[in-house]
Amino acid sequence: MPTQGALFLEKAKGNFILQQRDIPTAPAGEILVKIHATALNPIDWQLQKYAFFLKDYPAILGTDIAGEVEAVGKGVTEFKKGDRMVSLRTTAHHFSSTLSFQNIKLQRLIPDSISFDQAATIPVAFLAAVTGLFGENLKGIGAGLNPNVDWPAPQQTGQTIFVIGGSTSVGQYVIQLAKFLGFTNIIAYASQKHHSYLAELGATGFIDRAAVPLDRLDTAVSGPVEIVFDCVSSVEAQEVAPKIVSPEGAAISVNEDERSEEAKAKDKTFFAVFATSFAAGHEVFGERLWAKVERLLEERVIQPNRLEVVPGGLRGVLPGLKRLENNMVSGYKLVVHPQETE
Ligand SMILES: NC(=O)c1ccc[n+]([C@@H]2O[C@H](COP(=O)([O-])OP(=O)(O)OC[C@H]3O[C@@H](n4cnc5c(N)ncnc54)[C@H](OP(=O)(O)O)[C@@H]3O)[C@@H](O)[C@H]2O)c1
């Protein structure tokens, strides 16, 4: 049986170790994908450090991949060998060279104009942004601004969205989707060095991160704000978001609600987004959404994040995650090429 290198998290809060594992075949209904690029996300170091979510060890982490269909299982008609595709997070993980997928409805082809590296920057960060903004509000998935993923999107003319952490990977997708949704004012809280790039993505106004501390952000914002999207996820960000948002608006956070009981008691609409198309309640929106991803890319509604390729294949994952954890990645995504592991 041919083998491949894969990066395992050996036990809860343990070390990452590089080991060989069998290359899977594609069973009926599944596809086998040769991974060309996988992106690093904060969740990867958070899973190692805090040991939440994972139950079975050793575990292979990683959530975002882009690659090429290597083989298709019996009965698969949607894909053929050689197709270029991107995948969002699945229950299988991606710090390895090949992968088989169980839910092929949630994989998408990528246009030729998008490289594998660029495509790998999309899945989890984009999904957090689009689920939070578009997802059905009745089911508590999102703000309900485009639950059917209509094209063109229902327009939020005259409305304001405030993005805390505009330069984060998630924030960059929030800004682009806010433009698609027709928000008149798209205000980003971010370091000044990012402002011109975020303006290219669609931001219309800025608050410099160095000029106003996060916990005083509400004092710097005037006028009604219909949506606040916290992409930083600290307690300060979560506590200030509802102070900025209008009474009828919604504050969205990329993290579980960690505010004090006192802050929660004064609540306006506040919810945490979960970047998944698999969890209960998310499937219908997920299928509608992923059917449109290729078009969103082709028509440049969303541009992938800027990126840096970390050298060393899978051996680059750990140093890359350390940089993410230590806030040493500013406005771009780290991408790894598993096939370059020596
Ligand atoms: N709920 C979900 O399912 C889900 C999905 C995806 C991500 N997340 C979470 O979302 C958060 C963002 O993830 P990401 O991948 O987008 O992060 P990222 O791109 O790695 O974030 C780095 C950026 O954060 C900015 N930043 C850090 N602290 C800030 C602050 N106080 N104010 C403004 N900007 C600040 C930095 O700005 P400078 O350039 O100024 O240093 C840097 O550009 C993480 O906590 C992640 O775990 C959650």
Q: Please tell me whether residues 31 and 164 are part of one structural domain.
A: no
Q: What is the CATH number of the domain that holds 140?
A: 3.40.50.720
Residue where a domain stops, chosen among 272, 296, 323: 272
Q: Edge-to-edge strands of the sheet including 16-22?
A: 16-22, 3-9, 59-60
The amino acid at residue 168 is: T
**Structural domain of 139:** 125-272
Whether 306 contacts 282, CB under 8 Å: no
Could you tell me the distance, in angstroms and rounded to a whole number, from the CA of residue 57 to the centre of ligand 1? 27
Q: Measured between alpha carbons, how far is 275 from 256 in angstroms, rounded to an integer?
A: 12
Token pair 């969103």: residue: 296
Could you tell me the distance, in angstroms and rounded to a whole number, from the CA of residue 194 to the centre of ligand 1? 14
Residue where a domain stops, chosen among 249, 272, 295: 272
Token pair 């075949």: residue: 25
Q: Please tell me whether residues 76 and 131 are part of one structural domain.
A: no
Could you tell me the distance, in angstroms and rounded to a whole number, from the CA of residue 169 to the centre of ligand 1? 6
Best probe residue, ligand 1, of 43, 89, 168, 240 (max atoms within 8 Å of C-beta) = 168
Q: Please tell me whether residues 18 and 53 are part of one structural domain.
A: yes
Q: Please tell me whether residues 156 and 75 are part of one structural domain.
A: no
Ligand 1 pocket, residue 130 CB under 6 Å: no
Query: Which amino acid residue places its CA nearest to atom 7 of ligand 1?
Result: 125
- Does residue 277 sit within a domain? no
Q: Please tell me whether residues 135 and 111 are part of one structural domain.
A: no
Ligand 1 pocket, residue 191 CB under 6 Å: yes
Ligand 1 pocket, residue 165 CB under 6 Å: yes
- Does residue 299 sit within a domain? no
Could you tell me the distance, in angstroms and rounded to a whole number, from the CA of residue 20 to the centre of ligand 1? 32
- Does residue 311 sit within a domain? yes
- Does residue 292 sit within a domain? no
Ligand 1 pocket, residue 305 CB under 6 Å: no
Best probe residue, ligand 1, of 177, 231, 253 (max atoms within 8 Å of C-beta) = 231
Phi then psi for residue 333, to 5 deg, are -110, 145
- Does residue 191 sit within a domain? yes
Three-state DSSP class for residue 336: strand
Q: What is the CATH number of the domain that holds 41?
A: 3.90.180.10
Q: Measured between alpha carbons, how far is 314 from 321 in angstroms, rounded to an integer?
A: 11
Q: Give the burial class of 248: count Cβ atoms within 10 A of its Cβ; 0-12 exposed, 13-18 middle, 19 or more buried.
A: exposed
Instruction: Compute, in degrees rounded to 10, the torsion defined by CA atoms 63, 65, 69, 73.
Output: 0
- Does residue 288 sit within a domain? no
Q: What is the pLDDT along the chain (342 residues), one digit of tens a residue?
A: 788 888 889 999 999 999 888 888 888 887 888 889 999 999 999 999 999 888 889 888 888 889 988 888 899 888 899 999 888 655 444 455 555 444 455 567 788 999 999 999 999 999 999 999 999 886 678 999 999 999 999 999 999 999 999 999 999 999 999 999 999 999 999 999 999 999 999 999 999 999 999 999 999 998 999 999 999 989 999 999 999 999 989 999 999 999 988 888 776 788 999 988 878 888 889 889 988 988 999 999 999 999 999 999 999 999 999 999 999 999 999 999 988 988
Could you tell me the distance, in angstroms and rounded to a whole number, from the CA of residue 114 to the centre of ligand 1? 23
Q: Measured between alpha carbons, how far is 326 from 6 in angstroms, rounded to an integer?
A: 25
Q: Please tell me whether residues 140 and 237 are part of one structural domain.
A: yes
Q: Please tell me whether residues 64 and 87 are part of one structural domain.
A: yes
Q: Please tell me whether residues 158 and 193 are part of one structural domain.
A: yes
Q: Measured between alpha carbons, how far is 340 from 274 in angstroms, rounded to an integer?
A: 32
Residue 113 is classified by DSSP as T
- Does residue 280 sit within a domain? no
Could you tell me the distance, in angstroms and rounded to a whole number, from the CA of residue 45 to the centre of ligand 1? 13
Q: Please tell me whether residues 314 and 195 are part of one structural domain.
A: no
Report the number of secondary-structure helices (H) and strands (E) in the chain. Answer: 10, 16
Residue where a domain stops, chosen among 272, 296, 325: 272
Domain count, the chain: 2
Could you tell me the distance, in angstroms and rounded to a whole number, from the CA of residue 237 to the centre of ligand 1? 11
Q: Please tell me whether residues 186 and 237 are part of one structural domain.
A: yes
- Does residue 281 sit within a domain? no
pLDDT in tens, 308-335: 999 999 999 999 999 999 999 999 999 9
Ligand 1 pocket, residue 330 CB under 6 Å: yes
Alpha-helical regions (H) of 59-202: 116-120, 123-134, 169-180, 195-201
Q: Please tell me whether residues 134 and 251 are part of one structural domain.
A: yes
Q: Please tell me whether residues 178 and 308 are part of one structural domain.
A: no
